[in-house]
Amino acid sequence: MNLKDKIIEKLKTVYDPELRENVVDLKLVYDLNVNEKDGIVDIKFKPTVENCPVGLQLSIDIKKAILSVDGVKTANAVVENFIWAKEAMKFLEAVKK
Please tell me the predicted confidence (pLDDT) of residue 84. Answer: 94
Burial grade of 64 (CB within 10 A; 0-12, 13-18, 19 or more): middle
For residue 19, give the amino acid letter: L
Quick: pLDDT tens for 28-51.
Answer: 999 999 999 999 999 999 999 999
pLDDT exceeds 80 at position 97: no
State how far the Cα of 3 lies from the Cα of 80, in Å rounded to an integer.
24
CB of 28 within 8 A of CB of 58?
A: yes
Is 6 in a helix, a strand, or coil? helix
User: What's the average model confidence in pLDDT over 7-17?
Assistant: 97
